[in-house]
Structure 1
């Protein structure tokens, strides 16, 4: 069987999951190809070395915005050409967005009828919320475009031969939208081993190894859904009680400069480190007091599982998908109300006053978040699809 994965090579967890699944499928004897869509700096492009065929499609940043509709159609045409050339037996689309692009490609003249599985890694409906236009005409056009785009997304997912959701909460959210599909798999993303251990930022290393300091870490892109604003305000409030706390922020993004300005205005720039993006944050996690995630929305929040896998607990916002389910499955972590500065500050203070011992959740990690478990779930769904 020839399995083709279509992957959007962003900095989130989906490419890592795809790479893990590809590796498992090649070991199982399948022919596997990968189509990678990317506009990233080369250092972020995963190798996908285990795939037999690798096709990299450079895409423009406008692909993700309403103004990029024409470019999306162009990408759909290219996908149709690739599928026609390599003729896989089944397609795995690693996001709702890529599912939409492949669905559009099926309308090209002469396109092949190939079953596809939609692998839903994120709560894209929450993540796609944008600032509403003030002008009523512009707002009407904006709402219309968003409604059409979401309708196409859901239509594409409904037409899939199978769907994988990365958690139960995400599945329930789609059920509420009327997406009751006969072939569903729920598969938590795996904690993937990474032998790379890049050196720590020098300032972060000095903080993390100083017994007189208590350091927290957050690993998230500087984008609106991650709500760094609430995190920085809460940390400033907590620092009024404990002056020896420190915060290391891992990530980059459009809002980084604005968040640096916020830290300056709150007078905490000296105790908050903007350390930039790191491919593997586990060294930071293993040395900190707790990992903090203050998001408005998450696909799942795999960074919290990675924190627990490295022996530390977490503080996370109760956003619609992810953190609460992780907390319940792993029986650890502190969940606070979303966008609540006071609640997050209190949680930080509590973790300073009541430090938790290193936690061992290796059994739960192995049971729910292993590469084998993830690969088996997809294998079972593929067999359902091809045998129907």
Structure 2
């Protein structure tokens, strides 16, 4: 299992969770990570290329990592290689696919922005993926885009899994907040999550005057700008930035609802994890994923994509209509049982032809 790291993102959480499931089902698991950042629980052996690094990260340093990686795949006779990484460096990926990977390759696609995985140069794409046995999309929306933009007919959808028992256990940890709040979660390294517009939509809603706060989990270079925006709206007492937290699930469980305002997604784990904690969701019908998770007006509200006025109205509906809210809350947990690690893991074992 090859990942950028075992921390922070949905693809990485998927890799770590699957590794535990595979290990329990008598599969020998090895991980390769590129960045020295390991926070998620995982099973199996770990090759951390991020530790083969000096301060300069120069040419010879990178060359040494390639040597270690090549020897690793030469020394081990793997049945499958699962690659969870984006493919930003096209010629590097060509070299890895042709000269390093020594087993049947399965590539997972976790973003609707498939240019992160498939070079625009079709010939180069064909070279990189010529030895790929399967392309696994984590949503039907991504699969449709792959099928319409590439020549590959062997793509299929396997959703990201969740460990419902684990989530239920850790979501019950002691929690200190004694006020009502809604929750938003995501990285602040770019503006994909559109927290700036979410803050404005929240400011225009009825939530502040009803003492329902907005809690934002996550970190990144845009955080200082967002803090400044909150001051502009004079909402310092109503909007709180909690940064990166070790256990987001207790935040989900105690939230009134979770909100997602992204430009695009792959298969947003934020929505699944919130619903697994029994908390309804409000999300744009963005590309892709939310409409494969949210049953509109049943476990949450699916909002017309990028219509921030309707996003505000949906926030209001959740706090105004108690009967509607309780209906969504009651349906939250049952709606995501189909994403359990037992069900999704079985689909992977079937792919491996393991009974």
- Whether TM exceeds 0.5 here: the answer is yes
Determine whether 1:374 maps to 2:340.
no
**Is the 1:76–1:104 Cα contact (8 Å) retained in structure 2?**
no
- Are 2:282 and 2:302, in contact at CA under 8 Å, matched by a contact in 1? yes
Structure-2 change in CA distance of 1:374 and 1:242 (3 Å): same
Q: Deviations over 1:190-242 (max 9, x none)?
A: 12224446654x5xx1324xxxxxx1111111131111111011011114883
CA distance, structure 2, for counterparts of residue 306 and residue 171 of structure 1:
22
Partner of residue 292, structure 1: 259
Match of 1:86 in 2: 76
Q: Structure 1 residues 46 and 332 mapped into 2: Cα distance closer, same or farther (>3 Å)?
A: closer
Q: Provide the C-alpha distance between the structure 2 equivalents of 1:170 and 1:158, rounded to a whole number of angstroms.
A: 20
**Aligned 1:300-379 pairs, distance under 5 A:** 300-328=267-295, 331-355=298-322, 356-357=325-326, 358-366=329-337, 368-379=338-349
TM-score (norm 2): 0.83
Q: Is 1:220 the counterpart of 2:204 in the alignment?
A: no
Q: Structure 1 residues 16, 283: closer, same or farther in 2, change over 3 A? A: same
What is residue 353 of structure 2 aligned with on the other side? 383
Q: 2:216 aligns with which of 249, 263, 277?
A: 249
Q: Contact 1:293/1:317 (CA < 8 Å) preserved in 2? A: yes
Cα contact 1:308–1:359 (8 A) shared by 2: no
Shift of 1:157: 4.3
CA contact 1:95–1:122 (8 Å) conserved in 2: no
Distance in 1 separating the partners of 2:246 and 2:203: 27
2:104 aligns with 115
2:39 to 21, 45, 50: 45
Unmatched tracts of structure 2, length 5 or more: none
Distance 1:348 1:363, change over 3 A: closer
**Match of 1:167?**
139
1:153–1:327 distance in 2 versus 1, CA, 3 Å: farther
Q: What's the CA shift string for 1:243-282, capped at 9, x where partnerless? A: 4221000111121111111111122122100011113222
Equivalent in the alignment of 1:8? 4
Kept in 2, the 8 Å contact 1:157–1:163? The answer is no
Contact kept, 8 Å, 2:74 with 2:102, in 1: the verdict is no
Change in Cα spacing, 1:70 to 1:269, as seen in structure 2 (3 Å) is: farther
- In the alignment, is residue 125 of structure 1 matched against residue 125 of structure 2? no
Q: Classify the secondary structure of the residue corresponding to 1:335.
A: strand
- Counterpart of 1:359 in 2: which secondary structure? helix
SS at match of 2:34: strand
Match of 2:95 among 99, 104, 114: 104
Query: 2:17 touches 2:41 (CA, 8 Å); kept in 1?
Result: no
Gaps spanning 5+ residues in structure 1: where? 62-67, 129-145, 209-214
Partners of 1:73 and 1:104 within 8 A in 2: no
Tell me which residue corresponds to 2:46: 54
Give the match for residue 267 of structure 1: 234
SS of the equivalent of 1:232 reads: helix
- After superposition, the C-alpha distances for 1:124-149 in whole angstroms (9 at most, x for unaligned) are 437x6xxxxxxxxxxxxxxxxx745x
Q: Distance in 2 between matches of 1:291 and 1:83?
A: 42
SS state of the match for residue 242, structure 1? Answer: helix
CA contact (8 A) 1:330 1:364 kept: no
What is the DSSP-based 3-state SS (H/G/I as helix, E as strand, rest coil) of the residue aligned with 1:312? Answer: coil
* Alignment check: 8 A CA contact 2:296 2:302 kept: no
Q: 1:240 to 1:273 in 2, by over 3 A?
A: closer
3-state SS, counterpart of residue 231 of structure 2: helix
> In the alignment, which residue of structure 2 is the partner of 1:137?
none
RMSD: 3.4
Does the CA-based 8 Å contact 1:330-1:361 persist in structure 2? no
Q: Is the 8 A contact 1:227 1:339 kept in 2?
A: no
1:194-213 aligned within 5 A: 194=167, 195-196=169-170, 200=175, 202=176, 205-208=177-180
Q: Is the 8 A contact 1:185 1:381 kept in 2?
A: no
Work out which of the residue numbers 128, 145, 158 in structure 2 matches 1:187. Answer: 158
